[in-house]
Amino acid sequence: MRFFSQSFSYDEPWSIVSLAYFLRYPNPHAAHIVSCDVVDRTITSSGTLVTTRLILKKGTLPRWAPEGIIPRSEAWVIEESEVNPYGQVLRCTSRNLDHVKILSARESVLLHSAPNGQTLQRTDVNVVSNFGWGLTQRIEQFGFQRFKSNVQKSREGLKLIVELTRQSRQGMTMGGAPPGGFNASEPPKEYHRDSDAHSSRSDAPSQGLASSIWNRVPWPRFRST
């Protein structure tokens, strides 16, 4: 088993960062995300928001991996989160549902407010392989390094959505409507995107905060040439 933990901070308040966390897909730093769907959402008796989402991710195998080790390059991930708006804490765990014998990865994220108005994030990741055949440690090392590199990309993607969320909310506060037809009466919507969505805005939702943020993303800067 391999484990690592990273902590960092955002200059924006928790209310903006926690909202951006749920709107973080798609973004130009997460081209491996195929779809993201809410399958359950409940408000508990204590006032916390509990959400379960299914996320479909795609990836690539190392060259040394045996041919046919997995039937397809996509994997379903279940994400379970709880938001406490009173204590300003968001806890989220995610784990893969496919290929668990080859590599099982569990990620835990904690977002909470700091006294100085910033938001602190801690990410913990465990990766375990039960594949055997002399490849267990090699697979774990590959998964470990892949997750470490993806954590930085994830942070960059969230930082982008945090900034766009701040701009959208600022536009609403000042009485203006940000690009994309922001409608404060509508909740953010979940949506699919295809594999080319990171270079096209055709799949963007037509209304709501998610649409406003989508329309502000500088997609051309991230297009492959």
pLDDT for 223 equals 39
> What is the Rg, in whole angstroms, of the alpha carbon atoms belonging to the chain?
18
Q: Nearest to residue 107, comparing CAs of 147, 68, 66?
A: 147
Token pair recorded at residue 68: 């046919």
Q: Nearest to residue 127, comparing CAs of 91, 111, 151?
A: 151
What are 142-161's pLDDT values in tens digits? 988 888 888 888 899 999 99
pLDDT for 205 equals 39
What are 162-197's pLDDT values in tens digits? 999 988 877 665 555 444 433 333 444 443 444 343
pLDDT for 222 equals 41
Q: How many of the other CB atoms lie within 10 Å of CB of 100?
A: 14
Q: What is the pTM of this model?
A: 0.75
pLDDT for 93 equals 98
Domains of the chain (ranges; CATH) run 2-177 (3.30.530.20)
pLDDT for 7 equals 94
User: Which parts of the chain register pLDDT below 50?
Assistant: 177-207, 219-225
pLDDT for 134 equals 82
pLDDT for 171 equals 66
pLDDT for 63 equals 83
Token pair recorded at residue 117: 């108005």
Cα separation, 89 vs 122, whole angstroms:
12
pLDDT for 215 equals 62
pLDDT for 194 equals 42
Q: Work out whether the CA dihedral 28, 30, 35, 41 comes out positive or negative.
A: negative
The answer to whether residues 223 and 179 touch, using CB atoms and an 8 Å cutoff, is no
